[in-house]
Amino acid sequence: SDTDFPSLVSKYKALRLSALQQTPNAFSSTYEAESKLPDHDWMARLRNQSKDTFVVVDSDGEWVAQVTVYGPVSAEAYTLPPEAGQPPIAPDEDEEKWQMLSLYVLPSHRGKGVAKLLCRE
């Protein structure tokens, strides 16, 4: 509900900032940049109709992993340059294409299949 939304944004922000601090080389952004974002920017991220964010919550209610997917995207936007060696991409009418963004699992929960769970269809 909308009354829970600020709490969800706060949890999303905390895990994202933790990810940027703990594994800075895994992301294209930085903790320094994102820690300065105003709350309305964090809210806009979660309200973006082109992106979906999925989280894993442990039995204590702690957010331990999250992934954001972007899409569907067109074959044109999804296709890499030929030198990348990407296999042929099916036409848009044959399959949807989604881009996985910012997958992160807390170090304490790695090696337990959490990322695999988030990456399932």
Q: Is the dihedral of CA 23, 27, 29, 35 positive or negative?
A: negative
Which of 105, 119, 102 shows the shortest CA–CA distance to 34?
102
- What type of residue sits at position 33? A
pLDDT for the residue numbered 121: 56
| pLDDT recorded at residue 8 | 95
DSSP label at residue 21 = H
State the pLDDT at residue 90. 86
Low-confidence spans in the chain with pLDDT less than 50: none
pLDDT for 75-109, tens place per residue?
Answer: 888 788 889 998 888 888 888 889 898 999 999 99
User: Long-range contacts of range 116-121, CB-CB < 8 Å, 24 or more positions apart?
Assistant: 117/56, 118/54, 118/56, 118/65, 118/66, 118/67, 119/67
Q: What angle do CA 107, 44, 59 make, to 5 degrees?
A: 35
Which of the listed CATH numbers 3.30.930.10, 3.30.1360.70, 3.40.630.30, 3.30.565.10 matches domain 5-119? 3.40.630.30
Helices (H) and strands (E) in the chain, counts: 5, 3
Give the dihedral sign, CA 35/15/11/14: negative
* Tokens encoding 3: 């009354």
Give me the pLDDT at residue 54, please. 95
**Res 87: pLDDT:** 87
Domain ranges of the chain: 5-119
